[in-house]
Amino acid sequence: MKTIEQIAAELQGYDPKALPADRVNEFLARLVEPVTKAETVGLFDALDRVLAQDVVSPISVPPHDNSAMDGFAFDSAALSPDQPLTLRVAGTAYAGKAWAGTVGAGECLKIMTGAIMPPGLDTVVPLEFVKTVGEDVVVPPGVVKAGDNRRFAGEDLMAGEPALRRGQRLGPAALGLIASLGLPGVQVFRRIRVAYFSTGDEILSLGDVPREGAVFDSNRYTVFGLLRRLGAEVIDLGVVKDEPVALEAAFRDAAAQADAIITSGGVSMGEADHTKAMMKQLGDVVFWRIAMRPGRPMAVGSITENQRSAVLFGLPGNPVAVMVTFLAFVRPALLRLMGATSSEPLLLQALSSEPLRKKPGRTEYQRGIVTRDAQGQLQVRTTGNQGSGVLRSMVEANGLIVLHHEQGNVAAGGVVDVMMFDGAI
């Protein structure tokens, strides 16, 4: 793992006291090193895991030319552009086994979807397009052309070709694809372990007696949910009091067993607590002031314990700021740690339903509600109050409106980027 000093030397114009948001992921990509240990798991355990090696197809998919429709298979050489085609039905082919008969001149074969196409037949006309006259079917002119509704052997995958690439995160469709190849298991990188705790004397755990000036810890549960959605193994260390002995024990415990450590609270400029001091004492850490809203303060680095290092992410304490910094920066870094080759958040474009006030010189992440208008165009509006403590707004939103560093005010109807929540929250 590179040191903070080494990474800073690689980034031209790097300033931790005024760091543009788009430079954060560039920094973290240099800090985070992917895990290398792999294991073989069954498909039911492979969801959201990252491939440790290419999946090479042992078979062609489909293995035979087959019908894409319920209909009648025939030789397209008999088609006429302006005359109907009358064909005698020679039999019926079903999916799952080859038809044993032969189809002669002037004949066709009734065929079910997925059934093997017999030699000499190259086109399928759907059932609803033909007229039945006794034992014959009549194909009207122009309803099909040569090769219609025929799937070719290897059309999806050819034997020996990579079906999925190393570094790909496995979704439901990928599991089905692997199963279609007859493979019961797959090589994936091990799950990453992420330790998390909240800090601050004002934080109450669920079950504690309420007291004046204290608040119940919500960050512990939102971060837990975000990590579980990511597929990480979560090590919950609860709430740690702002005391040097307790903080040191928590950081050392986390570093000894986790690949990454996430904290919330205690990283703002001028805070009186001991969290920042303990981070500095135990690790190679830098404290950032990011040109963003919400979530300006953030700490990153590493802590080493028992000759193993864990990446450290010190997030701000406000609930919305925790979620925004996680989605924008921590999640992409953890995906890289998992071995994924694709980690940057996907931004969609939508039209703003309202004017948005924005000062150039910082990136703003406003909570938004994305809908589609009658013409199919994506529209987005804010959830209203954008305070960093208004956690309800994250529940109402389905994405973050991303107003970039140099961007200014946006008029109603203006195009904005949106980072959608689906799959992350």
Cite the beta strand spans of 140-184 per DSSP E: 150-151, 162-164
Q: Are 291 and 368 members of one domain?
A: no
Assigned domain for 425 exists: no
Q: Are 173 and 194 in the same domain?
A: no
In terms of domains, do 70 and 163 share one? no
Asked if 334 and 196 sit in the same domain, the reply is: yes
Residue 20 has pLDDT above 90, yes or no: yes
pLDDT digits (tens, 9 = 90+) for 224-250: 999 999 999 999 999 998 889 999 999
Tell me the CATH number at 11: 3.40.980.10
Closest CA to 219 of 260, 265, 259: 265
Question: Residue 416: which domain range?
Answer: 347-420
Kindly state whether residues 367 and 227 are assigned to the same domain.
no
pLDDT at 362 (0 to 100)? 96
Residue 205 has pLDDT above 90, yes or no: no
Tell me if 65 sits within 8 A of 111, measured CB to CB.
Answer: no
pLDDT above 90 as % of the chain: 86
Single residue among 151, 176, 206 that ends a domain in this structure: 151
Residues 97, 9 within the same domain: no
Residues 223 and 128 in one domain: no
Same domain, 32 and 126: no
pLDDT tens-place string over residues 24-77: 999 999 999 999 999 999 999 999 999 999 999 999 999 999 999 999 999 999
The contacts found for 253-257 with CB under 8 angstroms, 24 or more apart, are 253/195, 254/195, 254/197, 254/303, 254/310, 255/195, 255/282, 255/283, 255/303, 255/304, 255/305, 255/306, 255/308, 255/309, 255/310, 256/305, 256/306, 256/308, 257/193, 257/195
Which of these three, 288, 312, 338, is where a domain ends?
338
Asked if residue 267 and residue 212 are part of one domain, the reply reads yes
Spacing of C-alpha 129 from chain mean position: 42
φ and ψ of 331, to 5 deg: -60, -50
Question: What's the domain count of the chain?
Answer: 4
Distance, in Å, from the CA atom of 202 to the CA atom of 231, rounded to the nearest integer, reads 30
User: Does residue 117 share a domain with residue 244?
Assistant: no
Domain-ending residue, one of 284, 319, 338: 338
Q: What is the CATH number of the domain that holds 87?
A: 2.170.190.11
* Together in a domain, 267 and 320: yes
Residue 230 lies in a domain: yes
Among candidate residues 282, 387, 347, the one with its CA nearest the CA of residue 299: 282
